[in-house]
Structure formats: C-alpha cells, structure tokens
Amino acid sequence: MQQPPQGAEFGIAEANRVLGEVFAPWVQDLNLSIERLDFAAPEGAPDWQPGAILRLPFSERLCRNGGTVCGQALMAFADTAMVIANLAANRGYRPMTTVDQTTHFMRAVTAADMLADARVMRLGRTMSFGRVTLLSAADNRPVAMVSSAFAMLPS
C-alpha cells in the first residue's frame, strides 16, 4: 500500500482508496460505504474521539438460516470500520493488524442495512484501542458492541 501523495488531504476519498486497495476481496464484496470521518475535534467537546461511520448494505447472502444477519459478517464489518477509524485518527494510512476483538451481540437484525460507529479511544505509537457500536439503520438501535485492539506496524 502506498502512502498518499505529498500534499494530498485526508478525507473520505482517501479512505475509500484504502478500503479498495488494502482489504481482502471478500471484504470488498460486502460493498461497505464510508458515511463520515471524524478526525478534527469540534470546539468545546472534551470527550470527543476520532472515528468513522460506515454502512453495510443488507444482503440475503449475509444471512444465516432464518434470515438473521450472521455474526461473522457483523464482526468483519466492525473490524473493517475500526481500521477506517484508525485511518481517521492517523489522518492517513498506517499499516496495522487486529490483536483482539470482543463482540457482544445484543439483538438480532433482519432485512436492514447496518451502521458501524467506530471510535478510537486511545491511539499510541504501537497500539490502538477502540470501540464500535453496530446499529440497525432501520431504527438506529444498537445490535452489538465491539471492543478492539490493533498493533501499529512499521511502514
């Protein structure tokens, strides 16, 4: 993966480029879209955290028997969203790998797009820690909570 060109500003276009070049083809087949990046703290928001909001469009191919979106798809979605949140926190691509991911499923979701609100809680030189709230886009209610840790790799 190449670093962005000198002078290139980080934003959704750059994050989409990384999404299209870095991730495995089967992750790209999920047709994720980046709805928002948060990399600059708004004034007067002391608890603000950098992050991203992504959308996973509903597909019956993601459902298990009974029409419920499968946990494996939701976990892959959360992991990918956290990588994009790390891009926002770093204001660009930085090689990383998942060290840990813990998912708490709160309720089943059927026939609805999913949203991932991914936030970087702590970004260090060698590690990043984050949380993702997965929501049904149909009612904006939580479906799962995910905590994760990433190792930042040398370029």
In three-state form (DSSP H/G/I as H, E/B as E, the rest C), the secondary structure along 94-151 is CCEEEEEEEEEECCCCCCCCEEEEEEEEEECCCEEEEEEEEEECCCCCEEEEEEEEEE
Rounded to whole angstroms, the Cα distance separating 16 from 112 reads 23
The pLDDT of residue 46: 86
Residue 5 within any structural domain of the chain: no
Q: The whole model's pTM is what?
A: 0.92
Residue 147 within any structural domain of the chain: yes
Using a pLDDT cut of 90, give the percent of the chain over it. 85
Residue 7 within any structural domain of the chain: no
Residue 44 within any structural domain of the chain: no
How confident is residue 8, by pLDDT bands cut at 50, 70 and 90?
Answer: low
- The CATH number of residue 135's host domain is 3.10.129.10
Residue 110 within any structural domain of the chain: yes
| Average per-residue pLDDT for the chain | 92
Domain that holds residue 16: 12-39+49-152
Nearest to 82 by CA among 41, 49, 116: 116
Residue 6 within any structural domain of the chain: no
How confident is residue 106, by pLDDT bands cut at 50, 70 and 90?
Answer: very high
Place of tokens 């979701």: 109
Residue 149: burial class (beta carbons within 10 Å; 0-12, 13-18, 19+): middle
Residue 93 within any structural domain of the chain: yes
What pLDDT digit, counting tens, does each position of 71-103 carry? 999 999 999 999 999 999 999 999 999 999 999
The count of structural domains within the chain is 1
Residue 120 within any structural domain of the chain: yes
Instruction: Give Cβ neighbours of residue 18 (< 8 Å, ≥ 6 apart).
Output: 1, 84, 87, 93
Per 3-state DSSP, the chain is made up of helix, strand and coil in percentages (nearest 5) of: 25, 35, 40
Q: Which has the minimum average pLDDT: 39-53, 72-86, 93-107, 120-134?
A: 39-53
